[in-house]
Structure formats: structure tokens, C-alpha cells
Amino acid sequence: MQCPPLKITFLGTGTSSGVPMIACSCEVCISSDKKDKRLRSSILVESAATSIVVDTTPDFRYQMLRANVNKLDAVLFTHPHKDHVAGLDDVRAYNYFQKKPMEVYANSLTEEAIKREFAYAFSDKKYPGIPSINLNTIADTPFYIGDIPVIPILVWHLKMPVLGFRFGRFTYITDANKIDAEEKEKIKGSEALVLNALRNDKHISHFNLDEAVAMVQELAVPKGYFTHISHQMGKHEMINKNLPKGIALAFDGQELTI
Ligand SMILES: [Zn+2]
Ligand SMILES: [Zn+2]
Ligand SMILES: [Zn+2]
């Protein structure tokens, strides 16, 4: 699949509680380093013609304002956890200015959750001003959104199936702690790989830092970036400087061109 040049923007790189966490006074949460301020995890993928966001976090509205996203063609969902879907209602602004429903792509598990959690947007009797959403089911086959090719990658979040996405030579995976062998083949050859790395200690459904480093190295991707980071990870600067060459913690607002 042909892929045009892409710009990737990290809209958020924090775990479900964000960093700082409400009411926490640990050294990370009180840090004055901007890189220790993490909204919930999401990226913007842009070609010259097409703009896609992956997940609509509880911070979606502010993320769109902060990154000045004036046009949005589609939303891709990884999985139905609240920190990845909660902001969907705010696609209303794009409905209003673009005068059409938002194209939303998700697997059937996430579609069910969206219909349940945003039932008012799918009811027969719709009140004015609700979000307008056109659901597109992701199967295991690649597809295009505008001129951007999308290869879905199935990964495991303990026992929940989660979708990662490959766009050309860039792959984004969050909320996983296991990747099956055949799905790893879909990632190989990427120039850059984003993985979730929650913290240093082991976790039941997320890669920790060591596991994420090992996965980037196993897949031999030249550049690895970590997201979905907890305040328990430690301060950005301290952790980042000890990572192997080519691997870094991502930070909010970071941009990649691929
Ligand atoms: Zn999450
Ligand atoms: Zn804290
Ligand atoms: Zn999750």
C-alpha cells in the first residue's frame, strides 16, 4: 500500500489517570518539567490531505485545541476503555464545521461499547446538537482512510483484544502486554514504533519499561517511542537519559515526520 509522507503528533502520552494525577504530590506530579505533564494517550496522524486521530480521550477537546486541529477526517479506536473513548462527544465541533458525520473506525467490541456509552447519539429520537457518528467496522484487513493506508494489528491487553495500527513505516500500539507472532510480522520493517510502557514495575495488562524496550529490540525497529506513561515511571528526563540508543519516552506535543 502506498503511503504519503506523514506527520505524527503525540496529543497525549499519559496513562488513564494522566500526569499529574489528581491529588498526588509525588516528585513527578509536582515536577515543573513540561515533559512530565501528560494528557491521556492519543496521536494525530496527518498527510497533506488527511487527518486522523487515534482514540478520543477524556482530554480530546483540549488536545484538539492545543494542537490546533481544524479539520479531522476520521477517528480510529484501539479499544473501549474509558481513557480511550470518553471524549467522543466533542466531535460535535467537526460535525458543525464540516457539515457531515464523523467517520469512526473500531472493532466490533469497541463499537458495542460506543453504542452503549453514547446511546443518545444512536437513538431513534435524536435531540438537536448531539454528535453525528458513522461507524465503520474494522476487520483484520488493511484499508485506506483518504490517502493514508491503515493496517490493523491485533494485540492483547491481558485478555482484551486491542487494535494497533500501522501507517506506512510508522506503527502505533498502546494498551498491550502481548503480541502474537503473526502480528509481529506486520510491525517488522517499520521505521518507528510506539508502544505503551506504563512504569518500571510489572503490570497485569501493560508492558512495563523493560518489556517495551525488549519488544522494540526484538522487532528490530530503529526508533522506539513509549506512551501511556504513569507517574510511577519517574521523571521524564531521568528515565529518558538511561534508555538505549534509538529509544525514548514520548512527550505531549512531540512531532515525528515519517
Ligand atoms: Zn489506556
Ligand atoms: Zn504522582
Ligand atoms: Zn486499556
CA atoms within 13 A on the CB side of 26: 14
Residue-wise pLDDT for 68-122, tens only, equals 999 999 999 999 999 999 999 999 999 999 999 999 999 999 999 999 999 999 9
Q: How far is CA 151 from CA 59, 110, 167, in A?
A: 26, 17, 7
- Beta bridge pairs of residue 19: 38
The CA 248 to ligand 3 mean position distance, Å, reads 21
**Residue indicated by cell numbers 481544524:** 70
The CA 214 to ligand 2 mean position distance, Å, reads 26
The answer to whether residue 128 scores a pLDDT higher than 90 is no
Bond before 20 cis per omega within 30 degrees: yes
- Please tell me what DSSP assigns to residue 99: -
What is the identity of the amino acid at 141?
A: T
The CA 175 to ligand 3 mean position distance, Å, reads 5
Residue-wise pLDDT for 182-220, tens only, equals 999 999 999 999 999 999 999 999 999 999 999 999 999
- Give the H/E segment covering residue 83: helix 82-85
> In the structure, what pLDDT confidence band is assigned to residue 4 with cuts at 50, 70 and 90?
very high
Considering only CA atoms, which of 176, 194, 150 is closest in space to residue 52?
A: 150
pTM metric for this prediction: 0.97
Ligand nearest the Cα atom of residue 156: 3
Considering only CA atoms, which of 5, 1, 11 is closest in space to residue 253?
A: 11
The answer to whether residue 126 scores a pLDDT higher than 90 is no
pLDDT at 127: 86
The CA 83 to ligand 1 mean position distance, Å, reads 5
The CA 104 to ligand 1 mean position distance, Å, reads 18
∠ CA(158), CA(160), CA(165), 5° rounding? 105
Ligand nearest the Cα atom of residue 14: 1
Ligand nearest the Cα atom of residue 157: 3
∠ CA(239), CA(229), CA(191), 5° rounding? 80
Ligand nearest the Cα atom of residue 28: 2
What is the C-alpha to C-alpha distance for residues 83 and 238, in angstroms, rounded to an integer? 26
The CA 243 to ligand 3 mean position distance, Å, reads 25
The CA 193 to ligand 3 mean position distance, Å, reads 18
For residues 192-216, b (16+ Cβ closer than 10 Å) or e, as one string?
Answer: bbbbbbbbeeebebbbbbebbbebb
What is the C-alpha to C-alpha distance for residues 52 and 238, in angstroms, rounded to an integer? 32
- Please tell me what DSSP assigns to residue 51: E
Question: In this structure, which residues have their CB less than 5 angstroms from ion ligand 1?
Answer: 83, 175
- Give the H/E segment covering residue 94: helix 92-98
The CA 78 to ligand 3 mean position distance, Å, reads 9
Q: Are 230 and 199 in contact (CB under 8 A)?
A: yes
Ligand nearest the Cα atom of residue 24: 2
Ligand nearest the Cα atom of residue 83: 1
**Residue indicated by cell numbers 502481548:** 178
Q: Are strands 102-106 and 192-196 parallel, antiparallel or unpaired?
A: unpaired
Residue-wise pLDDT for 142-169, tens only, equals 999 999 999 999 999 999 999 999 999 9
Residues 6+ apart with CB under 8 A from 116: none
The CA 229 to ligand 2 mean position distance, Å, reads 11
For residues 238-249, b (16+ Cβ closer than 10 Å) or e, as one string?
Answer: ebbeebeeebbb
The answer to whether residue 1 scores a pLDDT higher than 90 is no
The CA 102 to ligand 1 mean position distance, Å, reads 22
The CA 125 to ligand 1 mean position distance, Å, reads 32
Calculate the average pLDDT of the chain.
97
